[in-house]
Amino acid sequence: MCGRYTVSSPIEVIADLFEVLREEEGGVPLPEVQPRYNLAPTQDAPVVRVLEPGGGRRLELLRWGFIPTWAKEAAIGNRMINARAESVAEKPAYRWAFKKHRCLVVTDGFFEWKKVAGGKQPHLIRTKDGQPFAFAGLWSRWQPPQGEPLETFTILTTDANPVVADVHDRMPVILAPKDYGLWLDPAVQDPEKLQPLLVPAPEELLETLPVSRRVNSPANDSADCIEPLVGGGEA
């Protein structure tokens, strides 16, 4: 699963990299986002989505933890932070979103915990070039009995590639930039066209680095959460 990740790149860099339609071009204003070094479920995070066929890419803040449209209460989202790519097209909670409400979850690294003597050692997993990338995500708009609609998302996961498998047996689906357009297009609803995208990332793309156990607490959200441990030891 994926239970923590980072979004530490400047929002302007993210907007350019993901070819977001700017406000002066008819898009929506970019959200104000502070660097996040230990982003946790139920918190707001930037995603890229397209709302109608042929529309521009929008960069907006949604809450992490998918709430299906039929949910009776928001708390269900706390348990739906990830969705298995292998079954997402058939699961009642996700199949409609898989057809029409797909998104890119913006990130520049994620954490997994490796079992070691005396506990679990957190590792930061990121691209070797340190650039932002995207998880495959689904989003939902849920209307509570009272108040404004709440928009939420989940991250799709798959089997770990050999690099990540040394730490954990699952990993988020990392989409290749060439596949962003297909994944975001709400006119594409055929699972046979989408399912081939949901595979482990190439192992040469990623590196894993042991980091401080400070990331174990979501209260810690500073740059030292992503500092590699000297010598790769435990801390």
What separation in angstroms does the CA of 171 have from each of 149, 155, 158, 189?
Answer: 30, 10, 6, 24
225 counts as catalytic: no
Taking the C-alpha atoms of residue 171 and residue 2, their distance in angstroms, rounded to an integer, is 7
Of the candidates 47, 50, 36, which has an alpha carbon nearest to the alpha carbon of residue 14?
47
Catalytic choice (2, 60, 151, 225):
2
Pairing of β 44-49 and β 5-7? unpaired
Q: What is the dihedral of CA 171, 215, 231, 227, to 10 degrees?
A: 100
103 counts as catalytic: no
Taking the C-alpha atoms of residue 107 and residue 176, their distance in angstroms, rounded to an integer, is 13
128 Cα distance to chain centroid: 18
Catalytic choice (60, 103, 112, 225):
112
Residue entry with tokens 């689906």: 173
Q: Which residues are catalytic?
A: 2, 112
